[in-house]
Amino acid sequence: MNQLQDTAEKIRTMEIRGAGRIASAAATAIRDYVKNLDAETIQEFDDKVQKAAKTLVNTRPTAVSLPNAVWMSVKHSKTNVDDAREEIINNANRFIKQADNALENIGKIGSKRIQDGDVVMTHCNSHAALSAITTAFEKGKNISVITTESRPRKQGLLNIKHLNDYNIPTTYIVDSAVRSCMKDVDKVIVGADAISVNGALINKIGTSQLALAAHESRVNLLVVAETYKFSPSTIQGEMIEIEDRPTDEVINPDDLRDLPYVEVKNPAFDITPAEYIDLIITDAGVISPSMAYFIIKEYQGWELGDIG
Ligand code: RUB
């Protein structure tokens, strides 16, 4: 359990971050946990696995990739410990491999939507969005990127390093410069923490502002999302929880000491309605937001009528 707790802590503190990385780390933690799990009975085994699964799922509430990865991994149909252990290890390995392949497929598919000469704006640090951008560049398309800073955690710094390693010309801007810079942008490409059944995107705080600015300027907003980032429980009417993070990420508590009437908020994600999204690039292909239900049904096996 120590190693699993360690992964859980790294997800909570964002040492491991980004919906895709979080999902693969959680599947790895489950797999390694069950490998050496001592249990006399299948009941004891299942109880321990459920507890471990909940520890991981409770670390961050918004990225649906996390519960999807964990529940896909721990689901088994066996009645004895050794067979159940083997099934879970296979499930987790399958998920990890699928997630790797998904990123590669997204790169291939997404890069086709980027044209030679494009200026692409992105927000936060999405491995899926970067996969599309770097693949386009590697195919010889002469592109450049504008990345936001993405306050308060400044994931934009990860983008400039990554893009610089690929020799991709990149401009770094503060989040509030998004509208002002939109006149120079050909398309906006962002990742996803979750896609709900109505095709809405949940992603890093500020994404919806970016979407509004893009919409106003008639710039296409492309969302890049692996099929495991679609939220099955939204079929049942569940809402995706928006994580509130500690306010000391936004402001030094010392600056608030003599300001009793001031409250600080730090919502980590926001919701972009489907009407601002031009298309969603998944590892299974390009879809319109209105096809989110199809992905949930075909790739996660949930359908209307599964009302919990
Ligand atoms: C990360 C974030 C990313 C998505 C997609 O938020 O909002 O855009 O998770 O990333 P945080 P990826 O930094 O709070 O985890 O494509 O890498 O899965």
* 188, 151 contact by CB (below 8 A): no
State yes or no: pLDDT of 214 exceeds 90: yes
Nearest to 193 by CA among 266, 151, 156, 242: 242
Active-site position among 124, 181, 255, 258: 124
Q: Check if the beta carbon of residue 146 is closer than 8 Å to that of residue 185.
A: yes
Ligand 1 pocket test target in 12, 17, 154, 205 with most atoms within 8 Å of CB: 17
- Residue 131 alpha carbon, nearest atom of ligand 1: 16
Which pLDDT band, with edges at 50, 70 and 90, does 308 fall under? confident
CA 116 to each of CA 120, 140, 186, 231: distance values in angstroms, whole numbers, following the listed order = 11, 8, 11, 34
C-alpha 171 chain-centroid distance = 23
CA-nearest residue, atom 7 of ligand 1: 204
Q: For ligand 1, is residue 124 a contact (CB within 6 Å)?
A: yes
Q: Which residues pair with 267 in a beta bridge?
A: 244
Stretch 185-196: mean pLDDT, rounded? Answer: 98
**Percent of the chain having pLDDT more than 70?**
100
The single residue of 193, 270, 278, 306 carrying the catalytic annotation is: 193
Confidence band of 107 (pLDDT split at 50, 70, 90):
very high
192 lines ligand 1 (CB under 6 A): yes
For residue 128 and ligand 1, the question of a CB distance below 6 A is answered with: yes
Per-residue model confidence (pLDDT) at position 291? 98
In this prediction, residue 101 has a pLDDT band, given cuts at 50, 70 and 90, of very high
Cβ distance 284 to 295 under 8 Å?
yes
Query: What is the predicted pLDDT for the residue at 1?
Result: 77
Buried b vs exposed e over 108-119: b needs ≥16 C-beta within 10 Å?
ebbbebbeeebb
Q: What is the pLDDT of residues 137-170, one digit of tens each?
A: 999 999 999 999 999 999 999 999 999 999 999 9
Interaxial angle between packed helices 19-35 and 127-138, expressed in degrees from 0 to 180 and rounded to the nearest 10:
110
- In this predicted structure, the answer to whether residue 253 has a pLDDT above a threshold of 90 is yes
CA 129 to ligand 1: nearest atom: 16
Work out the pLDDT band at 307, boundaries 50, 70, 90. confident
Check pLDDT > 80 for residue 52: yes
Q: Mean per-residue pLDDT for 3-18?
A: 98
Strands (E), the chain: 119-122, 144-148, 170-173, 187-190, 194-195, 201-204, 220-224, 269-272, 279-282, 285-287
Pocket test for ligand 1, best of 10, 95, 123, 124 (most atoms within 8 A of CB): 124
- When pLDDT is cut at 50, 70 and 90, the band that residue 252 belongs to is very high
* 131 CB near ligand 1 (under 6 Å): no
The band of 250, judged by pLDDT with boundaries at 50, 70 and 90, is: very high
pLDDT tens for 272-284 read 999 999 999 999 9
Residue 63 CA: nearest ligand 1 atom is: 9
Q: Give the per-residue pLDDT at 306.
A: 83
Alpha-carbon span 62 to 67, nearest angstrom: 10
pLDDT at position 92, please?
98
Establish whether 181 is a catalytic residue.
Answer: no
Mean pLDDT of 251-266: 97
Report the largest interatomic distance among the alpha carbons of the chain, rounded to a whole angstrom: 65
Count other Cβ atoms within 10 Å, centred on residue 255.
Answer: 10
In angstroms, the CA 203 to CA 11 distance is 17
Closest by alpha carbon to 288, among 189, 198, 207, 217? Answer: 198
Q: Is 66 in the pocket of ligand 1 (CB under 6 A)?
A: no
- Residue 46 catalytic? no
